[in-house]
Structure formats: C-alpha cells, structure tokens
Amino acid sequence: MPRTEFISTGFYVPERVVKNDEFTQWMDTSDEWIKTRTGIAERHWVADHQATSDLAVEATKLALDRAGMQASDLDCIVFATLAGDYMMPGAGVFLQRKLGITNIPCLDVRNQCSGFLYGLSVADAWIRTGQYQRVLLVGAEIQSIGLDLTTRGRDMAVLFGDGAGVAILGPTSDEGRGVLSTHIFADGRYAELLWANLGGSANRPRLSAQQLEQGMHFPQMQGREVFKHASTRMPASVMESLTVNGLTTNDIKVLIPHQANMRISEMVQKQLGLRDDQVYNNIDRYGNTTAASIPIALDECVQSGKLKRGDLLVLTAFGSGFTWGSAAIRW
C-alpha cells in the first residue's frame, strides 16, 4: 500500500495588513495588550470583493505551478473551512468552478481549526487505498467580516486573520517518505465553550433581528478553558503520533502547531520539551487563520528550506468542537 506524499504546497493572504494599533479605533485595547496576550502583531484581512474560494484559488494556482501541474490533473478537492462562500453549497464546488474543472468530487470539511488535519486524514485514506491519485487539500478562511469589532468582542476579534493554504497530495512508493499516520479526536461535551450559536437548525427562528442585535452570530469563547484543553490535548496527540511510529520528540525536525495563540504554542512546546528551532510559529504576522494556519506555515517552511527530504514533520491542531489531532510525516 502506498503512502501519501506532499507533492506541492502554496498559500495566499490578502493584501490588506491590519496592525494592532488599528483596533484602538473600534475598541478599548492597545498594541501591548494584544501582543502580551496573543503574540500577534498584525494579520491580513480581505477586500470587499473576496470570498473564501477566491483565496483558495490563488493558493492553488501557486501550488499547481510549483508542481508543474494543471488543474485538470486533480482527482478530488477536500476543502476545510468554517467560512464557506454561502450557507450552501460548500466552498469546494466554487473553487472547482474557478479552477475551470468539472466532475471531480468536492468534500467540504467543517472542523474549524482542526479542519486541515481532518482533511488530511481523509485524503490520506483515499490515496492509500488507491481511490484518488491527486488530491487538493485546502484550508481557507475569512474571519474578518464576522467579528464583533467592539470592546464586547475584543477577546476574539483581535485573534483572527484571513488566508488560504493548500497541499497537493499523491501516492509514493518510497518507504522513507510520506504520511506515517494521522490521529484525530473530538469531545462534544465542550462544544459550547467555543462556538457561534446562531444560524443552525437548533435555533427558532434560525435568524432574527433581535438575535443579531444581541450579537449571537459572533463567535464566543471561554478562553481559559480553551487554553487548558488545547495546551494538554495537542501535546498528547503529538506523543501518540510519535509512539505509534516508534519515534521520540528528539526525532522531530519541525513541529507546526495550529496558530491559535502564541501562549498556547509556547505551552505545547514546553510540554513536549522541544527546542525553539523545532517549532515553527508565524502567528505574529498572520494571526489565527483557523483551518488555513497549518498549511500557510507549512508552505513557509518548505519555501524557506526549513524542511529537507527525510525530515520528520509533525502537525497538531485544536479547535471548536472540541476537536484536535496530529499527523506525523516523513518529508
């Protein structure tokens, strides 16, 4: 049975850069307050004409060009996002249409910050079994247009940026390379600790002016509980991926954690006993881009030469649901 290799990667972020000082015109905050609590200095936000699939198109074109491929070479699209272009259908079909291709399946994955890892698990299974040969795995988000830009929503609003990252995946017979294993988890007991509780079938009515005035459509988070769970479950999932493959933390060349908050990444690093050079973070420049954060960071690692053939790459994420997971990859 073949393993799954990363053929190519790419990412795209919008041109508009929003620095911390810009938030002071909307809410009671400061650059120092944001940096101290999150590690974020700036993030990218979309222009009015951009939808989530538009960001994914740009990242995909870059990955295809680097791979010397055409969009018609793709067999399947797996699109991880919480911010589809519309309520329905999912964003995958709009990406497909914008790439000028038809007939291939498009699967939308709604696992928020863990979406890219969940999508990788699905794509890996398909490739290993021979169902598809070339899978486009996408993580793309637009959070900026759905934030409460007041002091009431400060804790969430300062965190998020927009962007897209993709990977083109395919089979390899090289036993020294590829996805070694993926590990995904969920615990719905904590669903309300990080959620947006408006617009779904549990609401009656689904949407009303009163609900909008109350801010029910904005994401809500109990930050301390999220921090506690993220900083323990992410390291635990990393250790599982290592143990299953007979590896240790000393074998890790690069760990890419989901870029939720720099303080969480620091705690994950501490729990695992990793050196600074083993952990890649870019949250200071992009903020939390949800499902896009891991593939954006991955492409930066690839393009900067931080990852070489044979290196052990480990990915880990945690997010709404709660959902979390990890993947071990021999580059």
Which residues form the catalytic set? Answer: 113, 258, 288
Q: How far apart are CA 251 and CA 330, in angstroms?
A: 11
Query: What's CA 234's distance to the chain center, in Å?
Result: 14
For residue 56, give the 3-state DSSP assignment.
Answer: helix
Please tell me whether the peptide bond between 235 and the residue prior to it is cis, using omega within 30 degrees of 0: no
Shortest CA distance to 143 belongs to which of 330, 328, 287, 331?
Answer: 287
Comparing C-alpha atoms, which of 217, 78, 195, 207 is closest to residue 134? 78
Name which of 171, 177, 219 is nearest 198 in CA terms: 219
Between the alpha carbon of residue 247 and those of residues 3, 268, 328, 330, the distances in Å are 18, 18, 10, 12
Alpha-carbon distances of 256 from 103, 155, 315, rounded to whole Å: 34, 24, 5
Residues pairing with 138 in the sheet: 79, 166
